[in-house]
Amino acid sequence: MALLPHRGYGGAVASLQARVPSALRGVRPLDVRIAAGVTAVQIGWTAAASSHHARSSCWWTSACHAPTHLTLAAVALLTLGPVALLFRRVHPRAVLVVVFAVTLLYVALGYLQGPNYASLAAAVVTVVMAGDRTAAVITLVVAWLLFLWLPDALGNAGPPTPLAALAIAAWMLVLIAAAEALRGRHDRAVHARRAREQESRRRASEERLRIARELHDVLAHSISLINVQSGVALHLIEEQPQQARIALAAINEASAEALREVRSVLSVLRGTGEEPPRAPTAGLARLDELVSGASAAGVTVALEVQGDQRPLPASVDLAAFRIVQESLTNIVRHAGAGTATVQLTYAERELKLQIDDDGRGAGAYGPRGIGTGNGIAGMRERATALGGELDAGAGEAGGFRVRARFPLGGGR
């Protein structure tokens, strides 16, 4: 026997797989189990009936002649139908035709009847589940006509009794109903799986949007401070080096904070195994950092807190922090303001934010007015997503004002 070449084992397996018919590649373990079960039922039950040689082999007829004993040809026919079921998933109609023809030949040869219809029932159920009800119904009608009257025409048995004909018709209706029930159950399972997949994709999309928003807020705020402070440092480095040193220190702190927050946001994308963030998570507890950062950029910011401070839902806490952060970033970058006020109000059932500045007003945010950039649109989306609202526009005494409200869902 020739040996396989060195590359041989993997190549031989690949060659063997390439020669396997495409229909066999669609065979699943469930199909094998069904075919094996139907084979055992058809051969085992028929062999048991043959040993008794009873009239039960043609119970539906008015007269019964001795059936042919079980032979190798009969066993082959009882096996051929279940074997065809292996391909039921790939070619359901063709399998139904083959099984019907095998069953018809078995009946025409006058062999013992009974469980030999199991493979035909399985083929009919498969066709119904594939959505071809018409083919299944036509097959059952033709089977009802041929399998009841063909034995009489061939002299293997007498004509069927009326009661037996009705009973067999009822069993066929039960078979169709059971097949429809299985198809409905399968369709519901498929629908549920697709719904779960769509929900998973929706959540993934929302998570990507959340990460993008977080990155926008973190980078826009920090880079704006770095830009302002670097301009101050360049302007003062020759004449007032000490003030330039202060600006460079603020740049260093802002860049370090930006890196920490970016790592924290991107850790979501890296899965498990990452170290927990060392910096505290973003929230209203860190408002002092925002105020000091804006002050270092040349804007005097006053922080006013009204009401009893208390823990907030994490989503509200983060959204409120990001709105203040984005507002102060806009003030530093666009407003040309000297002073700003951040007012935080803890009401019984809601949290209110108000950020005012004395800058150039809505015109500082673009020729078409407010709402044309991503920053304010992002703030509004954050508030709306939590059932709140946000307004942004000119202040009552000039400058610019941002107002936001978040419902807290109940009292304290």
Q: Which two tokens stand for residue 15?
A: 């060659």
Question: Of 209-223, 273-287, 327-341, which one has max mean pLDDT?
Answer: 327-341
pLDDT digits (tens, 9 = 90+) for 149-186: 888 788 777 788 888 889 888 988 999 999 899 988 98
- Determine the pLDDT at residue 6: 43
Find the angle CA(360)-CA(364)-CA(369) to the nearest 5 degrees.
120
pLDDT digits (tens, 9 = 90+) for 335-352: 777 888 999 999 988 999
- Determine the pLDDT at residue 288: 85
Say whether pLDDT at 363 is over 70: no
**Percent helix, strand and coil across the chain, each to the nearest 5:** 65, 10, 25
Say whether pLDDT at 52 is over 90: no
Specify the CATH architecture of the domain 281-412.
2-Layer Sandwich (3.30)
- Determine the pLDDT at residue 55: 47
Distance CA 131, CA 183 (A): 8
**Sheet containing 339-346: which strands, arranged edge to edge?**
300-306, 339-346, 350-357, 400-407, 389-394
Distance CA 403, CA 399 (A): 14
- Determine the pLDDT at residue 20: 45
Burial of 180 (0-12, 13-18, 19+ CB in 10 A): middle
- Determine the pLDDT at residue 4: 42
Residue 407, strand partner residues:
350
Pairwise pLDDT comparison (392 vs 239), residue with the higher score: 392
Residue reference for tokens 């959204």: 319
The arithmetic mean of pLDDT across residues 256-264, rounded, is 65
Residue reference for tokens 């029932």: 121
- Determine the pLDDT at residue 345: 92
Please report, rounded to a whole number, the percentage of residues in the chain having pLDDT higher than 90.
14
Choose the weakest-confidence range: 14-23, 41-50, 51-60, 161-170.
14-23
Measured in whole angstroms, the distance separating CA 120 from the mean position of its chain's CA atoms is 37
Q: Which two tokens stand for residue 302?
A: 């006053």
Residue reference for tokens 């219809």: 117
Question: Of 17-21, 154-158, 377-381, which one has max mean pLDDT?
Answer: 377-381
Give span(s): CATH 3.30.565.10, the chain.
281-412
The arithmetic mean of pLDDT across residues 27-56, rounded, is 77
Please report, rounded to a whole number, the percentage of residues in the chain having pLDDT higher than 70.
66
Contact between residue 233 and residue 242 where contact means Cβ atoms under 8 Å apart = no
- Amino acid at position 95, single letter: V
Dihedral Cα 255, 258, 259, 264, nearest 10 deg = 170
pLDDT digits (tens, 9 = 90+) for 176-192: 999 899 988 988 988 88
Please name which of 216, 149, 257 lies closest in space to residue 374, comparing C-alpha atoms. Answer: 216
Residue 306, strand partner residues:
345
Distance CA 146, CA 148 (A): 6
- Determine the pLDDT at residue 30: 85
Eight-class DSSP state of 158: -
pLDDT digits (tens, 9 = 90+) for 194-230: 888 888 778 767 766 766 676 666 666 666 666 666 6
Contact between residue 375 and residue 330 where contact means Cβ atoms under 8 Å apart = yes
Q: Which two tokens stand for residue 155?
A: 């002299």
Say whether pLDDT at 58 is over 90: no
Q: Which two tokens stand for residue 217?
A: 């807020």
The arithmetic mean of pLDDT across residues 25-43, rounded, is 84
User: How crowded is residue 376: how many other Cβ atoms within 10 Å of its Cβ?
Assistant: 20
pTM listed for this prediction: 0.49
Say whether pLDDT at 102 is over 90: yes
Distance CA 214, CA 277 (A): 15
The arithmetic mean of pLDDT across residues 269-283, rounded, is 54
- Determine the pLDDT at residue 128: 92
Contact between residue 254 and residue 229 where contact means Cβ atoms under 8 Å apart = yes
The mean pLDDT value of the chain amounts to: 77
- Determine the pLDDT at residue 12: 42
